[in-house]
Structure 1
Amino acid sequence: MKYNIGVLISGDGSNLNAIINNGINVKFVVSNNQNARGLLIAKKNNIPVYTFKNLLILEAEVSKLILHYNTELLVLAGFMKILSRKFIHSLPHNSIINLHPSLLPAFQGKNAIIQALDYGVKYTGITIHYVDEGIDTGMIIDQKILSINKDDTFNTLQARIKIIEHNLYPLTIKRLLDKKRN
């Protein structure tokens, strides 16, 4: 079964790559950063790419792309901008998802891994959630817990979190799209 999604990125595209490698049909990739390395991954996979620095223009164009490419889900994969209330409510309910490197509601927003290390928690993980008007406040879809080792640094913990993200995000996307079709 083919899964049609649009993806928003801002950075290196490692989760985009995992999504593509799991057979999910990415119809387009949009970035707010014309230098995002993830755009090269999309181009290498013959996926149309679009960049818009201005968030209002980006949102307007994404709305058009969703219709044009008939996508079923908008996936944020390292997209580091906050979508407007107007944009979120212009799309069908629960049609935008995001991935966050903490066990929400703990450590919302930027630098979640650093926040977890600084706070000294024993566990962190990842959360996949629907996007709402808040910052990482949408309804939780799935979570995966990860122990923080005593010798973990930002880099070692981030690398272990990425492994979980790259496995769980594509599976969750497929599950959500299967549910929409049934």
Structure 2
Amino acid sequence: MSTPARIAVLVSGSGTNLQALLDAVAAQDDFGGEVVLVASDRPGATGLDRARAAGIATESRALDDHPDRQSWETALADAVAAHRPDVVVLAGFMRLLTTTFLSRWPDRVVNVHPSLLPAFRGAHAVDDALAYGVTVTGCTVHLVDELVDHGPIIAQEAVRVAPDDDVDSLHARIQAVEHRLLPACVGALCRDELVVDGRHVRTPSARPG
């Protein structure tokens, strides 16, 4: 049996997607990876408590504790790198990362976003979808680049908007899909089942030629 890929998860809040990932790893013998670190930009993030309860190492690096953004990002990258991850998962991590961080794990940093990208990028995707009046939205798991919610898409799934939806009810249904889709994509990445071809992410069997 091959050695499981080492996964670092970055959170800023409650960590429900982190919990879904932990549950999937525990439930699937062939998941292909294990979470070795949970890190946050907020020392009080509930997601860190979830990690401690599961016996997983934690790190926190607050932006306000550093003289500028680049020094903060370098400190975060150093803290994560010390745990030797093969895959980095952004699970409700609310900071934009640049080459300072991303260059250490090219095509191995994954994010989940509550819309069908490229629609409704940014921090208010669910509010924006409701304000626009769409009848279908959803969630996207994608590789991370330097732009906001922009990297190559791994998977998407649609969620219908009900006439009486508000932000909380719609977000709850989107999160239910996220909790299934994100672990599936992370597992595929851990098992080296994905091939990045420009903006396209495919399984090896689907690779052109």
TM-score by length of 1: 0.92
Any idea what SS the aligned residue of 2:146 has? coil
The residue aligned with 1:100 is 113
Mean CA deviation greater in 113-122 or 59-68: 59-68
The residue aligned with 1:86 is 100
**For residue 136 of structure 2, what is the amino acid of its counterpart?**
Y
User: Kindly, what percent of the aligned residue pairs are identical?
Assistant: 36
1:27 aligns with 2:36: yes
Q: Deviations over 1:68-89 (max 9, x none)?
A: 322111100000001123322x
The residue aligned with 1:16 is 18
The residue aligned with 2:173 is 160
Question: Structure 1: which 5+ runs fail to align?
Answer: none
Structure 1's 56 and 75: CA in aligned 2 closer, same or farther, altered over 3 A?
same
**For residue 120 of structure 1, what is the amino acid of its counterpart?**
G
Q: Deviations over 1:37-87 (max 9, x none)?
A: 111100100111111112545533443344432211110000000112332
Any idea what SS the aligned residue of 1:164 has? helix
Residue 126 (structure 1) aligned to one of 133, 139, 143? 139
Structure 1's 65 and 35: CA in aligned 2 closer, same or farther, altered over 3 A?
closer
Question: Aligned equivalents of 2:80 and 2:40: distance in 1?
Answer: 15
The residue aligned with 1:74 is 88
Residue 57 (structure 2) aligned to one of 48, 51, 54? 48
The residue aligned with 2:30 is none
Residue 154 (structure 2) aligned to one of 120, 141, 151? 141
Pairwise CA RMSD of aligned residues? 1.8
Structure 1's 66 and 46: CA in aligned 2 closer, same or farther, altered over 3 A?
same
Kept after mapping to 2: 8 A contact 1:3/1:174: no
How many corresponding residue pairs?
A: 181
The residue aligned with 1:38 is 47
Question: Aligned equivalents of 2:59 and 2:105: distance in 1?
Answer: 22
Mean CA deviation greater in 97-106 or 55-64: 55-64
Question: Aligned equivalents of 1:68 and 1:31: distance in 2?
Answer: 15
Any idea what SS the aligned residue of 1:179 has? coil
Question: Aligned equivalents of 1:61 and 1:171: distance in 2?
Answer: 30
Question: Aligned equivalents of 1:14 and 1:114: distance in 2?
Answer: 20
Any idea what SS the aligned residue of 2:192 has? helix
Any idea what SS the aligned residue of 1:113 has? helix
Which has the higher Rg, Structure 1 or Structure 2? Answer: 2
